[in-house]
Amino acid sequence: MIIDRFVEESPSHEELFALLRAISIADVKVLIYKVEDALARERTLVRLPAAETFVIGDMHGDIAAALAIARQLMEGGPGMQQVFLGDYVDRGPHQVDVINLVLLLKATYPGRVTMLRGNHEIPAVNGENGFRECLERQFGREDGAILWHLYNRLFMRLPLAAITWNGIFLVHGGIPEGVNGLHEIEALPRELVPENRISFELLWNDPVEAKHPFHFRKGPRGGATKQFGELAFDEFQERTNISKLIRGHEEFNEGFRFFFGERVLSIFSSRRVLHGVFERQIRPKVVKIDMAGNLVVEAFEPAAIMT
């Protein structure tokens, strides 16, 4: 099984990539079931222990970046934590390999890896943006469709947010309107994201710096998506007592961007994003939170593999 070989052999980047490319349907199912068992013990809002913590933004099928991040965990100290902010799939050439690698990390190090849900971990999104097509191409139409349903069953069980020991709020999208405390997020039913406004906004909302201060306004992504301004963040910070917010969801050329006096940090960890036939190049970053609570935006070198 792939988990046994991963633990016993400590494979190189090239060997691990080969394992992922040759993964069997049976191995995928084992990974999904093991991670579902681990997720059953977690809350919708994960409370992280005091530890050196690395926060990873959108991966979108960039296996070279994902392999480098995996190596960081494998070679890090036993207490080091990694938090993935979601969007493992869609828009990238190796999205199946990336989600399987992150599942492998979670199955192997369940107490050190936190997987949050992104807006692409929704069937209505990843059924139309490449993930289902990639599965059917790799495993065949019938088996690919079965696996697509199993992955999305797992996605429905992913936590929606996390909070560090020093009050840094981690989420894929942004803050939702009308929340009076973190207990409301902790009590959210994960399985009802499309029907639950607060859950939806956690995955979809975006911060915006504006000349004229505002709270919330309709977002350009369509549907019920919103943008939140500094006034909204001020209120959310006061009501929840968070210190900062780290989120993903948006790509920036430099791989990161600060908002609202560096109280909100957006991070992106994929080297490129495909929008139809167009490819946007990114300088990917991760965020390190050290034991003193300092935030450091770090560049990293993607694995040198032939993809």
CA–CA dist 205, 215 (Å, integer): 12
Beta strands (DSSP E) in 77-221 are: 81-84, 113-115, 161-163, 168-171, 206-207, 216-218
CA–CA dist 35, 2 (Å, integer): 14
CA–CA dist 65, 214 (Å, integer): 36
Catalytic residue among 120, 172, 212, 215: 120
Furthest CA-CA distance within the chain? 57
Q: Are β-strands 244-247 and 264-267 bridged in parallel, bridged antiparallel, or unpaired? A: parallel
Q: Is 13 one of the catalytic residues?
A: no
Nearest residue to 23 via CA among 109, 121, 133, 135: 135
Nearest residue to 205 via CA among 175, 231, 250, 170: 175
Residues designated catalytic: 120
